[in-house]
């Protein structure tokens, strides 16, 4: 049973436009959500996070939105740059847990 | 510079052989984790350790073993009992309290194991 779902395996956008990556979850016990970025043959790096008590968190070009009623979060990248091309993983933490549950990832390609 | 070092980066082994993947961190982190990534799959937790000499099974621990004799080191052994060991293995660490407190993991660059 996949608790964190990234239904789009890939996304392609033009440089300068907005990239929107989506993530749905099923476990209402998740209290913290994170986005990681991963380049090929490298480990993921933390990008941005949001607590379940908030609905938006912003860091430069990256904004994460959380809609708890819909059990949906999204990552917005504005403006998109070619260097943003990578696989993006959505992750969630069940409250009080030592584990993160990861989605399958979305491969973003930003075309010059 | 502080970070997490995984070695080797690439490893080939024959079926039936045990293999040990190294993970060392100099971040002074208390908690360490091993994840496995397969193509088209998310990261799945194998084992994690909050303190020295203590570790817990993750979601897919069968066929793997770990040790935590030093704070800096968390080696993973892929045993011959692991049915499908070919994968990309990622080691991670985080500050005191682990994921429960901070949520954020710091990852190494990974080790790709191919069993022939």
Each residue's pLDDT, cut to its tens digit, for chain A (112 residues) gives: 679 999 999 999 999 999 999 999 999 999 999 999 999 888 899 999 999 999 999 999 999 999 999 999 999 999 999 999 999 999 999 988 888 999 999 999 999 9
Phi-psi region of A70 (alpha: psi -120 to 50; beta: other; left: phi over 0): alpha
Task: Give me the DSSP letters along A12-30.
Answer: EEETTS-EEEEEEE--TTE
Q: What is the pLDDT of residues B29-65, one digit of tens each?
A: 999 999 999 987 889 999 999 999 999 999 999 999 9
Band (B2; pLDDT cuts 50, 70, 90)? confident
Backbone angles phi, psi at B100, to 5 degrees: -60, -30
Q: How many CB pairs under 8 A join A and B?
A: 66
CA distance B32 to chain A (A): 11
CA distance B61 to chain A (A): 14
Q: Specify the pLDDT at position B23.
A: 98
Q: Specify the pLDDT at position B104.
A: 85
Q: Specify the pLDDT at position B45.
A: 93
Q: Which of B6, B35, B100 sits opposite A98 (nearest CB)?
A: B100
- Whether residues A43 and B99 touch (CB distance < 8 A) is answered with no
Asked whether the predicted pLDDT for residue B106 surpasses 70, the reply is yes
Q: What is the pLDDT of residues A68-90, one digit of tens each?
A: 999 999 999 999 999 999 999 99
Mean pLDDT of all residues in B55-78 = 96
Q: Which two tokens stand for residue B18?
A: 């045990």
CA distance A18 to chain B (A): 24
- Whether residues A97 and B90 touch (CB distance < 8 A) is answered with no
Q: Which of A93, A96, A102 sits opposite B42 (nearest CB)?
A: A102
Q: Which of B6, B40, B104 sits opposite A34 (nearest CB)?
A: B104
H/E stretch holding B56 reads strand B54-57
Contact status of A89 with chain B (Cβ, < 8 Å): yes
Q: Which two tokens stand for residue B36?
A: 């496995």
Q: Specify the pLDDT at position B1.
A: 66
């Amino acid at each position: 049973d996949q608790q964190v779902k990234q239904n789009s395996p890939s996304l392609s956008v033009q440089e300068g436009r907005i990239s929107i990556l989506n993530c749905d979850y099923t476990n209402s016990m998740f209290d913290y959500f994170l986005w990681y970025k991963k380049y090929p043959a490298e480990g993921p790096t933390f990008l941005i996070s949001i607590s379940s008590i908030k609905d938006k968190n912003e860091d430069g070009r990256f904004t994460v939105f959380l809609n708890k009623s819909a059990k949906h979060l999204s990552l917005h990248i504005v403006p998109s740059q070619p260097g943003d091309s990578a696989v993006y993983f959505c992750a969630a933490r069940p409250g009080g847990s030592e584990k993160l549950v990861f989605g399958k990832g979305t491969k973003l390609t930003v075309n010059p | 510079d502080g970070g997490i070092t995984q070695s080797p980066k690439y490893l080939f082994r024959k079926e039936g052989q045990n293999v040990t993947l190294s993970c060392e961190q100099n971040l002074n982190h208390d908690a360490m984790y091993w994840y496995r990534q397969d193509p088209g799959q998310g990261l799945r937790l194998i084992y994690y350790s909050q303190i020295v000499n203590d570790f817990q099974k993750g979601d897919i621990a069968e066929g793997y073993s770990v040790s935590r004799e030093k704070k800096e080191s968390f080696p993973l052994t892929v045993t011959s009992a692991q049915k499908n060991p070919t994968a990309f293995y990622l080691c991670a660490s985080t500050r005191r309290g682990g994921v429960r407190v901070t949520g954020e993991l710091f990852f190494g660059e990974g080790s790709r194991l191919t069993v022939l």
